[in-house]
Amino acid sequence: MIKIGIISAMQEEIQALLNELKNVTTTEKGMRTYFSGTLFNKKVVLVFSRWGKVASAVTTTQLINDFDVDEIIFTGVAGAINSKLNIGDIVLGKNLYQHDMDASPLFEKFEIPILRKKYLETSNTKQLLKAANNFLNSYHQFITVHDALKFQITQPKVIEGDIASGDQFISSIEKIKQLNNWLPSACCVEMEGAAVAQVCYEYQIPFSIIRIISDKANDNATIDFPKFANTIASHYALGILKNYFA
């Protein structure tokens, strides 16, 4: 049986998964707790990496080397930098860029030295897309009407799109415009995905990423992130992965 590693930046983002995990054993390594067990009859290891590219890269490397996983899925929240995205929408990452990678003039902007790649591709997007759509078709089995209304989620959708990662919390219109200019295909921004993708690429481990839009990454981004992560994002992950593992 294959084993799947599931990572989030905050425990709140996978709490609903932890609540469903069976036959649980825990391992403490590098100031992180790795939760091994079964989820919907699949062998999994769950861990929250903490915020940022370094933290997530360390966690991913440990997960691959010590837990013998065959696939890694990252799940969590992100800020929209595409005006067509709304709070509660789902982005399944296609190409992941490190928007703060700039080794010019030695290399082109965004190019990862030695790898000679400007972005890292994900895998299994078709299967994840089907799972996400099935989740949306049974949305209120996982998200209460009250919680959806609290965060003004009305007609959530799923898209496949590019993601920009960097060690910055994006909260200004000016920075969004800059990112739109630099990376016009990127639809949301976060702080871990491209780093996890790079580690998986180097270890030849299939990688995919689910991001739930929590805000518009602008000056009005005043959402209660832990509350959103716990009541919305973690239940999205639960619903999508239940369908993905089926």
Q: Which of 12, 89, 111, 215 is catalytic?
A: 215
Delineate the domains of the chain, giving CATH numbers in brackets.
3-245 (3.40.50.1580)
Cα gap 214→180, rounded to integer Å: 19
Dihedral of CA 90/95/96/100: which sign? Answer: negative
Element (H, E) at 241: helix 234-245
20 is catalytic: no
The pLDDT score that the predictor gives to residue 105 is 94
Q: Which of 13, 89, 111, 192 is catalytic?
A: 13
pTM, rounded to two decimals: 0.95
Cα gap 237→51, rounded to integer Å: 18
- Nearest residue to 62 via CA among 137, 7, 100, 128: 7
Q: Which two tokens stand for residue 185?
A: 């295909």
The pLDDT score that the predictor gives to residue 169 is 86
Q: Which two tokens stand for residue 59?
A: 């966690």
215 is catalytic: yes
The pLDDT score that the predictor gives to residue 221 is 55
The pLDDT score that the predictor gives to residue 99 is 97
The pLDDT score that the predictor gives to residue 217 is 64
- Nearest residue to 195 via CA among 160, 162, 161, 165: 165
Nearest 10 degrees: CA dihedral of 33, 192, 93, 121?
A: -100
Residue 159 dihedral angles phi and psi, to the nearest 5°: -135, 155
pLDDT per residue of the chain (246 residues) written in tens, 0 to 9: 899 999 999 999 999 999 999 999 999 999 999 999 999 999 999 999 999 999 999 999 999 999 999 999 999 999 999 999 999 999 999 999 999 999 999 999 999 999 999 999 999 789 999 999 999 999 999 999 999 999 999 999 999 999 999 999 888 888 999 999 999 999 999 999 999 999 999 999 999 999 999 988 665 555 788 899 999 999 999 999 999 999
The pLDDT score that the predictor gives to residue 220 is 55
Q: Is the peptide bond before 156 cis (omega within 30 degrees of 0)?
A: no
- Nearest residue to 8 via CA among 54, 59, 43, 61: 59
The pLDDT score that the predictor gives to residue 103 is 94
Could you tell me how many helices (H) and strands (E) the chain has, helices first? Answer: 8, 10
